[in-house]
């Protein structure tokens, strides 16, 4: 089976978050199942300099009345032999950012989206390789599902290409105007309630939802949450309408890249079975790195996050002063995002420098050292489609404390339920009070060596690779191919 991924980002070529991680590692697992999988992504400025071959055949995209000539640079995904096709359309993609720069979102994002989607369908003619399935990821690739439906009937006996759309985060929908829709070249029949229109505006993700043969999202719990008003971000009706074709498939993580036994960023690697000495060394080194009190006896809580409303870290900053006064916990925080959240963390760190260490920005090495050096990991998300950080944390022996939502509910076995092999702590409502009581529970566990080491072992040995998810995607592709 031939499957073409279409995504605005793919790790390690270009990445802003979890989407890039998933598109960078799921293909490798599909490949192991015998799928001929390839990936399409724009040639962003940051991808330049990558070792790639420019394919001889060129292609054209048509945006409004403009015809624009582009070419494809072929490379491989990391060390694998999965082909990655980078779309070279400098007018749209030779920029500093992927979606935005300091000036905000790029104003021609709809045109950039249409260009990417049209180019994805040209891969077949440039390379001679025809996909059976086009697998689109998030709003910027979503309209490719509509372009597939708008294509002229295939020549000869070639079966129709089928499409699968994966929603990584429903909050980002790509909302623009009818005037932008007109530049897509899609038939006018694709506008309207059963197409790209939502409340009079152009909604790129909605168009994909209406047109994809199958829709997936990144955890079973999120797949049911997004059909409700609370989590549906206004698209709950469309998702209910497409309910029979919507499945939740839990993301895995790349166990090779995330392996505490061979992670070069750690001061001392450790094995999953005997982590104690390594975890202690990592904790001390981390406390040192962040210029905090080097105490092994105080529990250390880690945070690695984008700082935005979704992630709920305002709940933590709200209770941190009280936690400083009433407990002996310490915190190691790395993140960046909204200015007021960054400021709150900076100020708390300045007030309690020995117990709250922070770095505002993104630093992959430090993130890994926080997963390895912390005892617990805090993730109070208001919503979380899947969440990868809690999985990285467990893999590195840090017990997650998280809100019971989306993929957090599906990946963490909470201690509170009397489960046999608990791996972390879950609370129900997004409030500082509930986060506080989970932290209190964690402190109790920390005070009891036997319990703490047992939970850490459960977390370390929980397998969360991509094999199972890849099988479920393959099944979904098969369903899509069997549709009339
Ligand atoms: C988005 C979601 C996150 C998910 C990731 C990969 O970043 O917010 O929950 O893990 O996509 O699917």
240-259 per-position pLDDT tens digit: 999 999 999 999 999 999 99
Q: Residue 465, Cα to own-chain centre: how many angstroms?
A: 15
What is the full DSSP assignment across 30-42? HHHTT-EEEEEEE
- pTM metric for this prediction: 0.95
One domain for residues 27 and 78: yes
Strand-strand pairing, 36-42 and 2-6: parallel
CA of 370 to the centre of ligand 1 (A): 20
Residue 55 maps to which CATH number? 3.40.50.2000
One domain for residues 236 and 139: yes
Ligand 1 site, residue 469, Cβ cutoff 6 A = no
pLDDT of residue 153: 63
- Domain presence at residue 270: no
Q: Which domain holds residue 289?
A: 276-460
- Domain presence at residue 69: yes
One domain for residues 326 and 382: yes
Ligand 1 site, residue 84, Cβ cutoff 6 A = no
- Domain presence at residue 262: no
Please state, rounded to an integer, the average pLDDT across all residues of the chain: 96
- Domain presence at residue 260: no
* Pair of tokens at residue 364: 């992959």
Helix, strand, or coil (residue 347): helix
* Pair of tokens at residue 437: 């009581």
Strand-strand pairing, 100-101 and 83-88: unpaired
Query: Per-residue pLDDT for the chain (484 aa), expressed as one digit of tens each?
Result: 999 999 999 999 988 889 999 999 999 999 999 999 999 999 999 998 899 999 999 999 999 999 999 999 999 998 899 999 999 999 999 999 999 998 899 999 999 999 999 999 999 999 999 999 999 999 999 999 999 999 876 566 678 999 999 999 999 999 999 999 999 999 999 999 999 999 999 999 999 999 999 999 999 999 999 999 999 999 999 999 999 999 999 999 999 999 999 999 999 999 999 999 999 999 999 999 999 999 999 999 999 999 999 999 999 999 999 999 999 999 999 999 999 999 999 999 999 999 999 999 989 999 999 999 999 999 999 999 999 999 999 999 999 999 999 999 999 999 976 778 999 999 999 999 999 999 999 999 999 999 999 999 999 999 789 999 999 999 999 999 998 7
One domain for residues 106 and 129: yes
* Pair of tokens at residue 330: 């310490």
One domain for residues 287 and 227: no
One domain for residues 228 and 355: no
One domain for residues 99 and 147: yes
Ligand 1 site, residue 18, Cβ cutoff 6 A = yes
Helix, strand, or coil (residue 128): coil
Burial readout 75-107 (b: 16 or more C-beta within 10 A, e: otherwise): bebbeeebbbbbbbbeebbebeebbeeeeeebe
What is the full DSSP assignment across 431-474? -HHHHHHHHHHHHHHHT-HHHHHHHHHHHHH----SHHHHHHHH
* Pair of tokens at residue 347: 């100020």
pLDDT in tens, 101-112: 988 999 999 999
CA of 167 to the centre of ligand 1 (A): 9
One domain for residues 160 and 50: yes
Ligand 1 site, residue 20, Cβ cutoff 6 A = no
Please state the domain count of the chain.
Answer: 2
Ligand 1 site, residue 251, Cβ cutoff 6 A = yes
Ligand 1 site, residue 219, Cβ cutoff 6 A = no
Asked if 174 and 109 count as a contact pair (C-beta separation under 8 A), the reply is yes
Question: What is the rounded CA–CA span in Å between residue 72 and residue 53?
Answer: 8
pLDDT of residue 171: 96
């Amino acid at each position: 089976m031939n499957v073409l991924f279409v995504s605005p980002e793919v790790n390690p070529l270009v990445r802003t978050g979890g989407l890039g991680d998933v598109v960078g590692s799921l293909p490798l697992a599909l490949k192991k199942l015998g799928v001929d999988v390839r990936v399409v992504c724009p040639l962003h400025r940051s991808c330049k300099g990558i070792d790639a071959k420019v394919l001889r055949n060129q292609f054209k995209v048509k945006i409004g009345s403009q015809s624009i000539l582009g070419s494809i640079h072929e490379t491989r995904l990391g060390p694998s032999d999965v082909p990655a096709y980078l779309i070279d359309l400098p007018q749209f993609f030779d920029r500093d950012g992927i979606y935005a720069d300091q000036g905000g979102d790029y104003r021609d994002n709809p045109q950039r989206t249409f260009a990417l989607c049209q180019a994805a369908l040209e891969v077949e003619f440039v390379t001679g390789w025809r996909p059976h399935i086009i697998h689109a990821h998030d709003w910027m690739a979503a309209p490719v599902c509509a372009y597939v439906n708008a294509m002229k009937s295939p020549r000869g006996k070639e079966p129709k290409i089928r499409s699968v759309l994966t929603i990584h985060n429903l909050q980002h929908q790509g909302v623009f105007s009818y005037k932008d829709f007109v530049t897509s070249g899609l038939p006018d029949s694709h506008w309207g309630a059963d197409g790209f229109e939502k409340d009079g505006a152009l909604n790129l993700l909605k168009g994909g939802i209406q047109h994809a043969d199958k829709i997936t999202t990144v955890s079973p719990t999120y797949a049911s949450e997004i059909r409700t008003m609370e989590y549906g971000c206004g698209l709950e009706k469309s998702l209910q309408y497409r309910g029979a074709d919507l499945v939740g498939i839990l993301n895995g993580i790349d166990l090779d890249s995330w392996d505490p036994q061979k992670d070069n960023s750690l001061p001392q690697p450790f094995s999953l079975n005997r982590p104690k000495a390594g975890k202690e060394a990592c904790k001390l080194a981390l406390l040192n790195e962040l210029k905090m009190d080097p105490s092994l006896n105080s529990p250390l809580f880690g945070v690695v996050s984008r700082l935005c409303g979704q992630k709920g870290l305002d709940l933590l900053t709200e209770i941190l002063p009280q936690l400083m006064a009433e407990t002996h916990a310490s915190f190691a925080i790395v993140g960046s995002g909204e200015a007021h959240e960054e400021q709150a963390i900076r100020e708390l760190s300045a007030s309690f420098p020995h117990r709250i260490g922070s770095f505002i920005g993104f630093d992959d090495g430090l993130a890994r050292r926080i997963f390895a050096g912390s005892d617990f990991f805090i993730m109070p998300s208001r919503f979380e489609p899947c969440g990868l950080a809690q999985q990285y944390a467990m893999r590195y022996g840090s017990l997650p404390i998280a809100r019971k939502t989306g993929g957090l509910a599906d990946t963490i076995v909470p201690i509170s339920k009397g489960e046999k092999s608990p791996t972390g702590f879950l609370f129900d409502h997004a409030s500082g009070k509930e986060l506080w009581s989970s932290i209190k529970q964690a402190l109790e566990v920390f005070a009891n060596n036997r319990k703490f080491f047992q939970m850490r072992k459960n977390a370390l040995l929980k397998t969360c690779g991509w094999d199972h998810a890849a099988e479920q995607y393959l099944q979904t592709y098969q369903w899509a191919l069997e549709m009339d």
